[in-house]
């Protein structure tokens, strides 16, 4: 009954979804592009289909999946990479354009997913993190296409929402050939929703297997030179509602640290102009990273292009990881640790709670409860190089200890990975 109602409701929601995409396109025009792909009409460069379909909902998941995608391409597999957001599409295009077909994933409507699968004809479907769509899995199962959920995670909020789907969620999960999750806590939630023990494996986070780009040192040096080697306080992947807090905290810090520069990297770079306005309202001089030079009186640099966050992490000594001063759930801070930043985060980290607990136990990050604690944390890390370096080293040790998820995923997928001729082995 739940699935019956779901399949009645979902098509009725499509007009509303299109209207929402159109309105979001006022601020971010890319939301209005490639709408046909969301109905399962794929790009003309698809050719004869692909061995593997991999779906990552947005930019963060696309970055997390990058080591796996690289490994699959190196083995000669052909891939269709789908996503849901323009930032996800831009991230995939930046890394894999010309090496894989990149598109938006279809709506979870039987007709749309049927059209999509008729064109892709994958031998294996890989979903990243929390992409659990009933009609996608059912359509794949009906065609004998194995489906795996990789780097899986399930926050308490998502778990509560999925619980309401009851038997439909249980049936959907049991259509997965394999569910590889980041931690035991996530595995327990999947079990409670109906996944079986033989489906589940705890493999850790694949993001720990990320490597730094070949031009990392060169790009970091260029950034530091552009900023006249002033100390940088980075605010990464920020959201509306927390930039005001961060800028106010920074303004207070400037009294004791007049050379300090704040670098704002909004989660959605299209907000750069709005952040310049906000900075001006607070009496701060800002510039955009791609358009303006960093003048002597510049207080704030706003990064207005995607794909640069790793380099800014490398150029900064202290980084706040956003989405955590507002109830968004936080963002993955393994990249900050990998690049050698002291990490500060707010209290809202439910998307990465196991990781946050691990880092807190090891004293490898500073978790603050409010804006007052935020300013104190910044001050401590800026003025005490010993404390800062100890935290950085603990975080990097945790990253090193967490490596190996990629090898586990490739080994676990081996029963279903097609060979180069497309024959499962």
Task: Render pLDDT for 221-254 as a digit per residue (tens, 0 to 9).
Answer: 999 999 999 999 999 999 999 999 999 999 999 9
We report the CATH number of the domain holding residue 42 as 3.40.50.11720
Helix (H) or strand (E) segment spanning residue 221: helix 216-226
Q: Look up residue 210 and give its DSSP letter.
A: -
Together in a domain, 329 and 364: yes
Catalytic residues: 61
Q: Which of 410, 226, 383, 353 is closest to 301 using CA atoms?
A: 226
- As a whole number of angstroms, the distance between CA 44 and CA 12 comes to 29
Together in a domain, 69 and 163: yes
Together in a domain, 275 and 174: no
Together in a domain, 225 and 309: yes
Distance of CA 207 to the CA centre of its chain: 10
- Between vectors from CA 307 to CA 304 and to CA 308, what angle results, nearest 5°? 70
- Please report whether residue 92 resides in a domain: yes
- As a whole number of angstroms, the distance between CA 97 and CA 90 comes to 10
Together in a domain, 175 and 262: no
- Please report whether residue 189 resides in a domain: yes
The token pair at 46 is: 């698809």
- Please report whether residue 38 resides in a domain: yes
Token pair 């199962």: residue: 141
Helix (H) or strand (E) segment spanning residue 379: helix 371-383
Burial class (CB in 10 A: 0-12, 13-18, 19+), 147: buried
Distance of CA 394 to the CA centre of its chain: 23
Query: What is the maximal distance between C-alpha atoms in the chain?
Result: 66
Q: Look up residue 424 and give its DSSP letter.
A: B
- Please report whether residue 420 resides in a domain: no
- pLDDT tens for the 425 residues of the chain, in order: 778 888 888 888 888 989 988 888 887 888 899 999 999 998 777 767 799 999 999 988 999 999 999 999 999 999 999 999 999 999 999 999 999 999 999 999 999 999 999 999 999 999 999 999 999 999 999 999 999 999 999 988 899 999 988 899 999 999 999 999 999 999 999 999 999 999 999 999 999 999 898 899 999 999 999 999 999 999 999 999 999 999 999 999 999 999 999 999 999 888 999 999 999 999 999 999 988 789 999 999 999 998 899 999 999 999 999 999 999 999 999 999 999 999 999 999 998 888 999 999 999 999 999 988 999 999 999 999 999 999 999 999 999 999 999 999 999 999 999 876 444 44
**What are residue 366's phi and psi, to 5 degrees?**
-115, 115
- Please report whether residue 233 resides in a domain: yes
Together in a domain, 270 and 176: no
Contact predicate 16/2, CB 8 Å? no
Together in a domain, 270 and 364: yes
Q: How many domains does the chain have?
A: 2
We report the CATH number of the domain holding residue 252 as 3.40.50.2000
Token pair 């998307």: residue: 351
Distance of CA 279 to the CA centre of its chain: 26
Contact predicate 173/193, CB 8 Å? yes
Together in a domain, 305 and 178: no
- Please report whether residue 209 resides in a domain: no
Q: Which of 179, 216, 208, 269 is closest to 66 using CA atoms?
A: 208
**What are residue 245's phi and psi, to 5 degrees?**
-65, -45
Contact predicate 299/254, CB 8 Å? yes
Together in a domain, 196 and 238: no
The residues, ordered by sequence, that sit 6+ positions from 231 with a Cβ below 8 Å of its Cβ are 257, 259, 260, 261, 317, 382
The token pair at 147 is: 């489906």
- Please report whether residue 374 resides in a domain: yes
What is the C-alpha radius of gyration for the chain, rounded to an integer number of angstroms? 22
Together in a domain, 302 and 358: yes
Together in a domain, 272 and 227: yes
Together in a domain, 18 and 128: yes
- Please report whether residue 258 resides in a domain: yes
Which domain covers residue 200, as residue numbers?
Answer: 2-204+404-413
The token pair at 409 is: 């995923």
Q: Look up residue 107 and give its DSSP letter.
A: P
């Amino acid at each position: 009954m739940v699935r019956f109602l779901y399949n009645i409701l979902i098509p009725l929601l499509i007009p509303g979804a299109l209207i929402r995409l159109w309105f979001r396109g006022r601020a971010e025009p890319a939301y209005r592009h490639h709408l046909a792909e969301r109905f399962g009409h794929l790009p003309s460069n698809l050719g004869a289909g692909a061995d593997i379909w991999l779906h990552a909902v947005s930019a963060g998941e696309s970055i997390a999946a990058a080591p796996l995608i690289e490994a699959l391409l190196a083995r000669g597999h052909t891939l269709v990479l789908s996503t849901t957001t323009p930032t996800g599409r831009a991230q995939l295009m930046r890394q894999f354009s010309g090496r894989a077909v990149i598109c938006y994933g279809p709506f979870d409507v039987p007709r749309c997913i049927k059209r999509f699968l008729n064109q892709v004809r994958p031998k294996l479907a890989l979903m990243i993190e929390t992409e659990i769509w009933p009609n996608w899995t059912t359509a794949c199962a009906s065609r004998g296409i194995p489906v795996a959920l990789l780097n899986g995670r399930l926050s308490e909020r998502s778990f509560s929402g999925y619980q309401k789907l009851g038997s439909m969620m249980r049936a959907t999960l049991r259509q997965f050939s394999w569910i590889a999750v980041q931690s035991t806590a996530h595995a327990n939630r999947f079990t409670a929703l109906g996944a079986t023990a033989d489906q589940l494996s705890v493999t850790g986070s694949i993001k720990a297997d990320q490597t730094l780009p070949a031009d990392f040192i060169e790009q970091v040096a260029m950034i530091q030179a552009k900023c006249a080697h002033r100390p940088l306080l980075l605010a990464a992947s920020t959201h509306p509602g927390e930039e005001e807090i961060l800028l106010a905290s920074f303004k207070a810090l400037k009294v004791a640290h007049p050379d300090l520069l704040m670098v704002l990297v909004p989660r959605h770079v299209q907000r750069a102009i709005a952040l310049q306005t906000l900075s001006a309202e607070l009496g701060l001089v800002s510039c955009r990273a791609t358009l303006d030079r960093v003048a002597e009186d510049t207080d704030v640099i706003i990064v207005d292009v995607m794909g640069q966050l790793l380099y800014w992490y490398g150029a900064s000594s202290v980084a706040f990881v956003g989405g955590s001063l507002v109830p968004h759930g936080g963002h993955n801070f393994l990249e900050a640790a990998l690049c050698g930043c002291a990490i500060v985060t707010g209290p809202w980290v439910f998307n990465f709670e196991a990781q946050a607990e691990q880092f807190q136990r090891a004293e490898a990050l500073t978790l603050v409860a409010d804006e007052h604690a935020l300013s104190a944390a910044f001050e401590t890390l800026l003025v005490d190089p010993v404390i800062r370096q100890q935290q950085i080293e603990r975080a990097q040790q945790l990253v090193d200890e967490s490596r190996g998820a990629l090898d586990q995923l490739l080994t676990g997928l081996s029963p279903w990975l097609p060979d180069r001729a497309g024959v499962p082995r």
